[in-house]
Structure 1
Amino acid sequence: MNRNAVILAVLAAPLPLACAETLMETPAPIKVKDARNCYRLSPELYRSGQPGGDGFKALEKLGLKSVLNLREYHSDADEAEHTGLRLYRIKLAAGKVTREELMDCLLVISRAPKPVLVHCWHGSDRTGIVCAAYRIVMQGWTPEKALEELMDERFGHHRSYYSNLAELVRDTDWKAFKEEFRRKRQAQGV
């Protein structure tokens, strides 16, 4: 075999994996009965607005195992009652999301049976900031790339109301955040 062919084969070998990973990072819209603004972000994470009873059943049929509800005043217990989904809840106020709340959300996502759905009412702002943090911490995205996805119009982010969310992405020391996340996961045995 010629030397150039060997070098080319070695250099090209990782390309299909890199391309597949990039495709996996692209949010894929999922049509789910009774759940709006639903997207698959990765094999482990989905996002949506508030699912109804039929939505929870459809999500379970898709293979989802867990749901993280970010709504302050609404539990999913009634809608998800006849499913085997594991329900988690962290109450977030879109105008006041803190670094500590993001940490709590990522810790839940990291230990919950996968795949996990994250949702709020619209699936835009609270869901968007949690997904941005997930992208940065769990998938190694840059804050800029995660912020771009947070602001993407297809998700319906209300930037004029919740500029604090973009500020949180910009102002967080993500290196320190990741280290704290690693320590907390280790302490939880995850």
Structure 2
Amino acid sequence: MATPWQRSLGHLESLFIDHACFRLLYSNTYRISPNMYRASQPSPSHIAQAARNGVRSVLNLRGGRDCASYILEAEACRAHGIELVDFPVNSRDMPKKETLLKARELFKTMQYPALMHCKSGADRAGFMSTLFLFVHEGQPLPEAMKQLSWKYGHFKQAKTGILDYFFDLYAAYNEKRPTAFWDWVERVYDPVEAKASFRSREWADTVVDRVLGRE
């Protein structure tokens, strides 16, 4: 976006194609611990506010993309001296083992305070917030899983509920055979088998996919 015209088009794309017009009204931003915020896709003004709040890194759960929202985000992070970390997470699939293990290392090395976000701040942000609070900050799993709730716009009954189901599977296994979470991930967890046993509800899928247009 080298010219003023290109920048204007970029802002319009972000507003109406990537639905930033809704996020200007409600950014779904919450501070979940002294070290972490969660939010929807931040605009440049949201990143400026994050910088004023002391945020040192932004964890982008949508991954790097060739679109205006990402370009504007990257520019704003550079302008405010914030590290931008692209870490794509899927909202409708069981997390891969390598994604989980990379997240563990990322939580150990990233600069804090940090802000994590997806598009709407509901599903992927909820999953990673739960994981962060549980494995990095030591919060009990039932408490950490409150990050996956209606409060943030998350529908457990839809395909996005597969993220809740991942933690439910561990909790059920751990109740019968007490096992450390990372041992379960590395030795027991089978993403393919887990996905095959998950079922969503049609009405919830309609709301999430067709009405809300979630990624």
* TM-score higher than 0.5: yes
The alpha carbon displacement at 1:35 in A equals: 7.1
Please give the residue correspondences for 1:68-83 in structure 2 after superposition, counting only pairs within 5 Å: 68-72=59-63, 74=65, 75=70, 76-83=73-80
1:153 to 147, 150, 153: 150
Amino acid across the alignment from 2:119: W
* 1:94 aligned to which of 91, 94, 116: 91
In the alignment, the residues of structure 1 paired with residue 137 and residue 63 of structure 2 have an alpha-carbon distance, to the nearest angstrom, of 27
Q: Is the 8 A contact 2:59 2:114 kept in 1?
A: yes
**Scaled by the length of structure 1, what TM-score is found?**
0.68
RMSD: 2.7
Tell me if structure 1 keeps the 8 A contact 2:64–2:86: no
Structure 1 match to 2:210: none
| 1:39-188 equivalence runs, <5 A | 39-72=30-63, 74=65, 75=70, 76-96=73-93, 97-147=95-145, 149-159=146-156, 160-172=158-170, 175-177=180-182
- Residue 83 (structure 1) shift: 1.4
Unaligned 5+ segments in structure 1 are 1-32, 182-190
Q: Percent identity?
A: 24
What TM-score results when the alignment is normalised by the length of structure 2?
A: 0.61
Q: Which runs of 5+ in 2 are unaligned?
A: 1-23, 187-215
Q: Secondary structure at the match of 1:94?
A: coil
Q: 1-side partners of 2:57 and 2:183: how far apart?
A: 23
Kindly tell me the number of residue pairs found equivalent between the two proteins. Answer: 149
Which amino acid is the alignment partner of residue 158 of structure 1? F
How far is 1:144 from its partner?
A: 2.1
- CA deviations 1:78-132 (Å, max 9, x no partner) are 3433110011011112112334323322322321111011110011110111111
Q: The residue matched to 2:79 in structure 1 has which SS?
A: coil
2:127–2:148 contact (8 Å) kept in structure 1:
no
